[in-house]
Structure 1
């Protein structure tokens, strides 16, 4: 891939223009030799020949990653047990990682192998600075602990591809670039950066295709994985962490992904990946291997030397096998050429336990001491080149709050353009409006009970419909929020406000059309000012209802629980809304004051009628509207107070939603 006309720009807000210029000036084409594992090459002054006619962008900084005696434990649920006839209970802990050590140098790929549940993903998450809880040991990056500077130079590709389904490949990468690349770069430079990543990862053919999701077909699994890698490559990371990058892919696609990763490592990056069961072709692409068995390391070293090591300690095979298959058998406690590999029972479990203990003992005897010596000998004296001068800037955001808000607003509108105005939702709302208009067709003024019922229908339908739509918002976006927030892409406040503002035109268009149809068909007061006020009240109720739905979703973060709570709440609000029960017992009367449907209903009555209006209650006899039982029970006074109470609900529910999100995403 030809280099762009301008030098590749690092995606860090704490990188100076002088550093970029220095890197660009020294990028000359020459053969790549592996960077020394000494952490003192702050700038790799050479691009890498990646293919016949392509150059890989080199990383601006190199990182030497060391992890020493990493131990991670989690607390299990307390369970009561009976000892000697007495009950005792206490916290139990499970060890997920037990003394794992290693070092990865720039230009190397470290593969973490092991069966499911061996702790591979936990270790990778710890190396990415994303693991909370009881973690002990020492993890350093060029001799320093995890920091904001390291975080911005770390790319983390999760096992599951968390992408917006309705965005195209180009849109996905472009919005990521706008959020993660510093605002010191011009838009044209960011576009060139996106183009170079698309070309480098072989995504040109599908660049205008949508990502796709469960309900419609998009790009393939391998292409999604490359898009996920491309999102991280946009920041030109020094450290690239990948969790099961070949999971669910065929062998050819898996090799293409690993070839790309190998090429990226050749650019001076430090690469760590977990992988479940690689083919022999993939295995030989790795420089180093860590083999885990139930959280304990049983091998660390060169991938090519693994078979020789296990042969030296008595675990050899008489046949030619994929090295990864042999390693995984050993990690499961199955010796090579074992005749009992497929059996079950106590004897088999004892044999597996014996094999594991033997392997752990051999590791402690043969590898542990050598590894400690290797960790001590790694020279990271000049780590100051990595962070010098940036200590005070590392916690700053690469872009301003306003820039993040604008990009997130654009992305949200583009992603939800199909969801908010799909034909089913439009048909649902319009059909209800037309059917309601026909049922209340030109209701005479004397039929005040029917008119009041229509106004209550307004408040009920647009008090509950937005609520049920809103409870899905944050639970469905939780994985995306966790991914992007952990990468430091944007502030939570900019996302929350962008989501709130972006929903306005999409959520208010349908209720506007609904009111336009049913208001005039129902024969309500034909006054333009009254119509506009009625429309504004309905839209006001929509916003309050949506706010409550967002709060439910953010607090529970579970769709089933949130919809259950929403159904109970709407039922209570419906009953206490002032229409069905006009004389609520005093001890429970306070419920109606919690119902926004009650205030919406009262405000709609207030703009349609006044207490002194009259209607024909019987033939030839006029009665005051204020004396009608349904109106008298609600009252038409203090309408501005009701407006203020709904405003308090609107703001309060959204603040609760924001606080709940902040707690979940801490």
Structure 2
């Protein structure tokens, strides 16, 4: 279909595709709000003809609002409803509307499109509206709409609604297999047709596995274009090149210790925030589609959410894999033994960042609002990550445990300095920050003492478990927010 960042169907093609999506569910009644808007005359005629054929062959009712139809399209509709000031001015056979106007003393000019004449008459003359409303009130038919499976659609504007829900049909005096038109009041746009649905218990059209597998395939195809965009791939390759050049083969000494920590922190931060910002924009862009499909009961929310989680998992791990494979060895980090653990930690870091981004995107649901919130939290997460601030005030020290970057950075530091090569002392020794270097005949600092110096006292698995817990909590929060606070209208 296309979207904000992805080219897709044209306006005409998108209009027809949205109608086709509704037909998949084989509904008893089809409501179309101005389906011909933006279409040329030929396409409009073709669309209405197809709908009329569909209604006749399938025994369905099609109800549409349409503005300024040609006379050819106007008379393709079987029934017509006219609204003025929120009240029914006419409801009956389209072929009889001219005679109805004449019966109340309003003559339709010869060779004049009846649709144009009616809309002009209703919008310009109070006398015409009064006559038509009086004639309409004298008719005995009842205007109501009902929906299969106990769901009722209620029309605003003073139309009487039958409270008894039945299997079957909408609008008394309206036969299945026909096409109906509602010409809305041009003078009062606020009185346009409003449709409200009442949720009702119904069975899902397919099983959970079918829903999950199909949604996974669809989400994978959509996400692949977004996540593996050529521009993003080039961007990350360039960043990888810069990082490799800046930190190229860092000597393992005290003088470059902060540089080594900076390289580790950058890897953790970069692959936390790239998936975070991608996920932040993901849900807001899909919001309208999700709400539409959920309100139509196409699938379970759990199937959609699990498909979203699993289908993007492989995609978000491809780029950090390439990045770490290159940067790890060019920078000269802690050898082969820690390499695979570093790669796995970056994977978990990326998934945690995506979890946080998904939650923000779901909670905000507007791209500009979500981006503002995510940037604010990004700054806070970086400050509390453990590189820029080591001496946080006591009354704020607890906040570092709310930063998932704190856990990913510290776990990578543990991998880098646990059982790693010793770090050469700064010369002259009296300038060293480590007391061991000031001892006689000591020129190297054991890696474990680096961790102790920077107060990294947890084990690797403690940091990882905290990071996994963070991931689980925010994915669960995203699901419950989507289920209970972001229900479709």
Superposition TM-score tier, normalisation by shorter sequence: 0.7 to 0.9
CA distance in 1, matches of 2:52, 2:307: 38
Q: Which residue of 2 aligns with 1:525?
A: 334
**Equivalent in 20, 24, 43 of residue 230 of structure 1:** 20
Q: Which residue of 2 aligns with 1:439?
A: 246
Contact 2:98 2:108 in 1 (8 A): no
CA distance in 2, matches of 1:591, 1:635: 16
Q: Once the 2 structures are TM-superposed, how far is the Cα of residue 238 of structure 1 from its aligned partner?
A: 3.2
Q: Deviations over 1:328-369 (max 9, x none)?
A: 22342x13xxxxxxxxxxxxxxxx5x654454333223x3x3
Q: Once the 2 structures are TM-superposed, how far is the Cα of residue 610 of structure 1 from its aligned partner?
A: 3.0
Q: Once the 2 structures are TM-superposed, how far is the Cα of residue 370 of structure 1 from its aligned partner?
A: 4.4
Q: Which residue of 1 aligns with 2:475?
A: 654
Q: Deviations over 1:306-328 (max 9, x none)?
A: 12222322333445321111222
Q: Which residue of 1 aligns with 2:410?
A: 602
Q: Once the 2 structures are TM-superposed, how far is the Cα of residue 420 of structure 1 from its aligned partner?
A: 2.1
C-alpha RMSD of the superposition: 2.6
**Equivalent in 622, 625, 628 of residue 444 of structure 2:** 622
Q: Once the 2 structures are TM-superposed, how far is the Cα of residue 490 of structure 1 from its aligned partner?
A: 0.7
Q: Once the 2 structures are TM-superposed, how far is the Cα of residue 645 of structure 1 from its aligned partner?
A: 1.6
Give the alignment's TM-score, normalised by structure 2.
Answer: 0.80
**Equivalent in 245, 258, 283 of residue 474 of structure 1:** 283
Q: Which residue of 2 aligns with 1:409?
A: 216
Distance 1:631 1:470, change over 3 A: farther
Give the alignment's TM-score, normalised by structure 1.
Answer: 0.59
Q: Which residue of 2 aligns with 1:328?
A: 119
Q: Once the 2 structures are TM-superposed, how far is the Cα of residue 411 of structure 1 from its aligned partner?
A: 1.5
Are 1:306 and 2:97 an aligned pair?
Answer: yes
Q: Once the 2 structures are TM-superposed, how far is the Cα of residue 511 of structure 1 from its aligned partner?
A: 0.8
Are 1:592 and 2:414 an aligned pair?
Answer: no
The residue matched to 1:416 in structure 2 has which SS? helix
CA distance in 1, matches of 2:50, 2:289: 25
- More helix per residue: 1 or 2? 2
Q: Once the 2 structures are TM-superposed, how far is the Cα of residue 465 of structure 1 from its aligned partner?
A: 1.5
Contact 2:227 2:278 in 1 (8 A): no
Aligned pairs for 1:361-440 (under 5 A) are 361-365=134-138, 367=139, 369-371=140-142, 395-440=202-247
CA distance in 2, matches of 1:637, 1:457: 21
Q: Once the 2 structures are TM-superposed, how far is the Cα of residue 402 of structure 1 from its aligned partner?
A: 1.3
5+ residue gaps in structure 2? 147-165, 170-199, 428-441
Q: Once the 2 structures are TM-superposed, how far is the Cα of residue 635 of structure 1 from its aligned partner?
A: 1.1
Q: Number of paired residues?
A: 420
**Equivalent in 642, 645, 660 of residue 466 of structure 2:** 645
Q: Once the 2 structures are TM-superposed, how far is the Cα of residue 563 of structure 1 from its aligned partner?
A: 0.7
Contact 2:414 2:459 in 1 (8 A): no
- More strand per residue: 1 or 2? 1
CA distance in 1, matches of 2:21, 2:275: 33
**Equivalent in 324, 340, 346 of residue 515 of structure 1:** 324
Distance 1:611 1:594, change over 3 A: farther
CA distance in 2, matches of 1:410, 1:277: 41
CA distance in 2, matches of 1:475, 1:372: 38
Q: Which residue of 2 aligns with 1:286?
A: 77
Contact 2:342 2:412 in 1 (8 A): yes
CA distance in 2, matches of 1:384, 1:218: 39
**Equivalent in 368, 372, 380 of residue 564 of structure 1:** 372
Q: Once the 2 structures are TM-superposed, how far is the Cα of residue 265 of structure 1 from its aligned partner?
A: 1.4
The residue matched to 1:551 in structure 2 has which SS? helix
5+ residue gaps in structure 1? 1-163, 166-212, 336-351, 376-382, 387-392
**Equivalent in 44, 48, 63 of residue 272 of structure 1:** 63
